[in-house]
Structure 1
Amino acid sequence: MDILTLVGLVAGIFIVIMAMLANASLITFLNLPGLAIVLGGTFAVTLVKFRMSSVTSAFRLALSAAFTDRVERPEALIREVGELAQVVRKEGILGLENHQTSNAFLQKAINLCVDGHMPELVEEALAQDSRQMAERYEVAERVFRGIGESAPAIGMLGTLVGLVQMLNSLDDPASIGPAMAVALLTTLYGAFIAQLIALPLADKLQLKAEDESRNQVLITTSMRSIMGGENPKVMTELLSSFVTPDQRTRLTPERET
């Protein structure tokens, strides 16, 4: 689990709630009409911008990707493909037939190689899979950025509604308070949804997509080298460009064996 995502969201919400409770009760900030305007309006605008299937898949991807640390570290992948290269050099490509890995993309690459497909076909199949993954992440990111853009705007609409109601009821002092609450709290709700939930999740999805893409390029490059009969030590040296200089020093023992 990506604990930092959960900690960040909980901490941000907690800090805002504690600020609310400093000089007032939480019920003071609860206004059902204003909340309905923001939530309903944001949901409606999101459905106008995107298909329902895109919205549901975006939330599923956010739960499965943003809240789980499932992206493998590049140095671990480099070590694993280095071991695969050693096996292929000793036993041939069929030596990978019984190799199992937790990385679905790497497992697909291994299966394609073992099945005897041409290197060009293997590379094209992996590239297609990588493009589809990137597209899914992009759509999910756009959905959450759309929510982040719409929520404050709908909050401002709610503010205008509340102000109009207030101006129309200046002769009735008892109705000014509820109208003012709608005017102010809808802006609060919109900013809360955008800045503490939607936009941070969009940024996290973008980061996860970049990590996944980097790892898939690393795997594709390594499988091309393995199928081309590249020396495992040379291949590991070339793949070290995918990691930081500090991480490269930890790969040194692997290169010397």
Structure 2
Amino acid sequence: MEKSTPIGLVAGLVLVFGAVIAGDGAATFFDPVSLLIVVGGTFSGLLITFTMDEMKGMVPLLKGFLGFQVPDYGALAAQLADFARTARRDGPLALDARLDEADDPILRSALEMVVDGVDAEQAEAALQTQSAEAAAKPALLTKFFNKAGMYAPAFGMVGTLIGLIQMLQNLNDPAAIGPAMAVAMITTFWGALLANLVFLPMAGKVQGQMMATAKAHQMVRVGALGILAGEAPSALAQRLSLYTGEAPADASEPAPLRRAA
């Protein structure tokens, strides 16, 4: 996981709950009924929105989200240029022995199409389709977080309305109105907190990951089509450098792969 995600979560929780603890009646904020309404209601809404298969599929998607590493575009560009040198020097069939070097499924598929001599137009269409399919699952996770961010504050309001109705039924005791009003507002607090500190920021994070992955897949398409077209490795490296913002490596020597920090 990128360091900014846990840092942001911890900072937000410290800020909010620091203010809660510093004030009076901190225990009021941890009302189990309020939490049950917000969390249970949000989960129920998600069950209605998504199928059971989609809900089950969220677990591996969440694991992939938490374990995401930003692609090292410089290393990918160097790797693609190195593949181009191999194809130029020894022929496209020589890439068959290097398929295991491709960790990304789309990169491996691109190399297989180069080895098989697939037509450039067909290869581009196939790679675009594979990229779209790869983006479909993270897009589902984005929808999941956005829906959760919408349902949480809504159920917070539902809990508040329940509390207000119950309070209005007992107006004969003025001393109890204040505490009852406080409890009624707690569900709104939890709904807003979960939506704006967890669900909606997570949705934005997934979208950023999708954009990063799409950029890497675009580089793979450019590299594969360049190799199929017999493009000079130096020219291909120059084009790929536009994606990295770095000067291309010397086309005569393989550039070492670098992992993102």
- Give TM-score, length-normalised by structure 1: 0.88
Match of 1:187 in 2: 188
Residue 100 of structure 2 is aligned to residue 74 of structure 1: no
Partner of 2:257: none
SS in 2 for 1:102: coil
The residue correspondences of 1:176-255 to structure 2 (distance < 5 A) are 176=177, 179-243=180-244, 247-249=245-247, 251=248, 253-254=249-250
CA distance in 2: counterparts of 1:48 and 1:107, whole angstroms: 38
Residue number in structure 2 paired with 1:155: 156
In structure 1, the residue matched to 2:139 is 138
Gaps of 5+ in 1: none
Deviation at 1:105, TM superposition (A): 2.1
Partner of 1:31: 31
Segments of 5+ residues of structure 2 without an aligned counterpart are: 254-261
Determine if the alignment matches structure 1 residue 45 to structure 2 residue 41: no
**Residue range with higher mean Cα deviation, 131-140 or 196-205:** 131-140
CA pair 56-204 structure 1, distance change in 2 beyond 3 A: farther
What secondary structure is seen at the aligned counterpart in 2 of 1:248?
coil
The alpha-carbon deviation at position 187 of structure 1 amounts to 0.4
Amino acid in the other structure paired with 1:248:
E
Distance 2:202 2:121 in 1: 37
Q: 1:33 to 1:181 in 2, by over 3 A?
A: farther
Q: Runs in 1 of length 4+ with deviation above 6 angstroms?
A: none
* Cross-structure match for 2:106: 105
Change (3 A) 1:254 1:191: farther
SS of the equivalent of 2:85 reads helix
RMSD, aligned CA: 2.1
Give yes or no for contact 2:31–2:186 (8 Å, CA) kept in 1: yes
* Structure 2 residue 26 is the aligned partner of structure 1 residue 20: no
Partners of 1:103 and 1:60 lie apart in 2 by 17
Cα separation, partners in 2 of 1:202 and 1:85, compared to 1, 3 Å: same
> What does the per-residue CA deviation read over 1:188-234, in whole Å, with 9 as the maximum and x for residues that have no partner?
11011101110011000000011111110110111011011001111
Task: Report the AA paired with residue 98 of structure 1.
Answer: A
1:52 Cα deviation after fit: 2.8
Identity of aligned residues (%): 34
State the match for 1:119 in structure 2: 120
> Would you say 1:9 and 2:9 are equivalent positions?
yes
Counterpart contact for 1:57–1:140, Cα < 8 Å: no
Of the structure 1 ranges 206-215 and 167-176, higher mean CA displacement relative to structure 2 is found in 167-176
Give, in angstroms, the shift of residue 256 of structure 1: 7.6
Cα pair 2:142 2:206 within 8 Å, conserved: yes
CA deviation after TM superposition for structure 1 residue 63, in Å: 3.1
Give the drift of 1:130. 0.6
Residues 55 and 143 of structure 1 are in contact (CA less than 8 Å); yes or no, is this contact kept in structure 2? no
Q: TM-score, normalised by structure 2?
A: 0.87
- Which 10-residue stretch deviates more, 156-165 or 120-129? 120-129
Matching residue's letter, 2:250: E
More moved, 90-99 vs 3-12: 3-12
**Does 198-207 or 178-187 show the bigger shift?**
178-187
Return the offset for 1:138: 1.5
Helix, strand or coil at the partner of 2:103: coil
Deviation, structure 1 residue 26:
4.7
Contact 1:162/1:181 (8 A) holds in 2: no
